Structure 1
């Protein structure tokens, strides 16, 4: 076990990676660092699928990090994630524990597993003003001049596309300086789920969260003063539910559009993880249908192989 610095549990939405990670954490008596770009926001619970009940295993509370650390409306970024991940990682290591990072945000995971050298990118008001009248299609073409788009997350909304261009333009003009980031020897475990089963679980979970009050959650956030555009910026549930609440689309349009968007998102997540393998990461896959005991045994065996 001491030869590994970190265990990473990744997988698409609805694959069951969080219950797996918490059960493993309970077995290893350790703590979890979240790698979810939206679960960092306070009060955004149902729409981000926090499922905090999963962090209680057989009556044992599993400590977690990087959930509920920012206010809704704030534009948290991957540079901040690296910084906050390191703080959590070092805190856990000081307790002589083997941290587990778990999530489905591929960029966040890759940024810490590979140790990207990043720096904060300030806003560029002049560039934003120049781009604000452009269509999403035009912005996408502009962004493609800077880099190959491996997924459509950066061009999900006009605001996201403008921010992505702003970042690329800054990096073009300002070479990234060396930044200390530890080289982590990570055991990476992927949760693979059959596509049809994944689709079924996504639809069932969407209906469940709507029944639990996901629309009321969005209404509350808007009532608290979060701008509709800021919620739409977060995409998926918050995009479609906000459009419904402010009267831009019908309930049926919201449900059908959101269901399709989540399916597409899960597909993009798997595309990212397969891309990680092509970029040199070794991911050991477990089947989502394996019993929990079998999944945990698989990981503990891998830890002993070192």
Structure 2
């Protein structure tokens, strides 16, 4: 039987305290953090992505972290690149008997590890996507049926976006052979952080205020002055999208705070929806309430992980 390698995972919506908890766990368990955040990979995007790098210092020592500040701002990074980078780091840490702790809020990145679908390696076909966007959802379903069943078994018919991806995959597989990559066997223990919605909203808005005071607008202004395309910053979404609009005069300061606060709360809700979908797909998430005392939360999570490890 193939050896299974442990992976501790801390996931949750924005402003749930994932990093603080993960760092404490890394300190207690001699682990290192692997970030699962689609925007923290970019340099000079610190306040806007909530990197909170000072949180990686604990009890006088620096907890090592990975997949933060590995790309230049203005670039792109996708789920398949994340997978490749994750497995390289995971295997290095495992060989050194160091516990990898995956921490973040980008559910799609985490799910790619739990499910390890080789289809994430299939590239985007922009020309095909442009054609498919002209069809309605029934037209996409009809088109998908024209491909051999063995190429469409993976398909999720529930949304327009997923149908387009399913057709893109089927079209690619019609002309290319996909070579399966051998991956290490992972035994994850997944910690999910949750909160009462009203309290989560308060935390998000308080954190937004803090980040604006810390210079988030100036950070975005600096990126634009360095030559980062405003369209690319808008593509990064949330803070970058709204601050670019503010700097261009489309929003005033009050509108920026109100609209961005609302958008981040909506984003947190979508993150929770995705985590629940992961559970439906078979990911076992152990949920913990972040509205309690942080020391109590840490003790509960550490105890649950140690019990899991002992089994």
What band does the TM-score fall into relative to the shorter chain?
0.7 to 0.9
Contact residue 114 and residue 183 of structure 1 kept, 8 A: no
Contact residue 82 and residue 109 of structure 2 kept, 8 A: yes
SS at match of 2:99: coil
Aligned to 1:32: 33
Distance 1:28 1:228 in 2: 42
1:249 CA drift (Å): 2.0
Aligned to 1:243: 245
Distance 1:209 1:143 in 2: 45
Contact residue 20 and residue 295 of structure 1 kept, 8 A: no
Which segment drifts farther, 47-56 or 111-120? 111-120
Computed over aligned residues only, the root mean square deviation of the Cα atoms, in angstroms, reads 2.7
Contact residue 32 and residue 99 of structure 1 kept, 8 A: yes
Where do residues 125-204 of structure 1 align in structure 2 (5 Å cutoff)?
126-127=127-128, 147=156, 168-175=166-173, 176-204=178-206
Q: 1:173 to 1:36 in 2, by over 3 A?
A: same
Contact residue 190 and residue 284 of structure 1 kept, 8 A: yes
Which segment drifts farther, 140-149 or 6-15? 140-149
Q: 1:202 to 1:142 in 2, by over 3 A?
A: farther
1:219 CA drift (Å): 0.4
Aligned to 1:224: 226
SS at match of 1:53: helix
Aligned to 1:158: none
Aligned to 2:302: 297
Q: 1:244 to 1:19 in 2, by over 3 A?
A: same
Distance 2:301 2:16 in 1: 15
Where in structure 2 are there 5+ consecutive unaligned residues?
A: 145-155
Distance 2:225 2:257 in 1: 22
Where do residues 265-304 of structure 1 align in structure 2 (5 Å cutoff)?
265-288=267-290, 289-292=292-295, 293-304=298-309
Where do residues 57-68 of structure 1 align in structure 2 (5 Å cutoff)?
57-68=58-69
Q: Any idea what the Cα deviations from partners look like across 1:133-180, whole Å, max 9, x if unmatched? A: x8xxx7996998685567xxxx9xxxxx7xx88755531311254232
Aligned to 1:118: 119
Which segment drifts farther, 285-294 or 13-22? 285-294
Contact residue 140 and residue 164 of structure 2 kept, 8 A: no
Contact residue 8 and residue 186 of structure 1 kept, 8 A: yes
- What's the TM-score once normalised by structure 2's chain length? 0.84
How many equivalent pairs are there? Answer: 289
Distance 2:244 2:238 in 1: 10
Where in structure 1 are there 5+ consecutive unaligned residues?
A: 156-160
Contact residue 11 and residue 191 of structure 1 kept, 8 A: yes
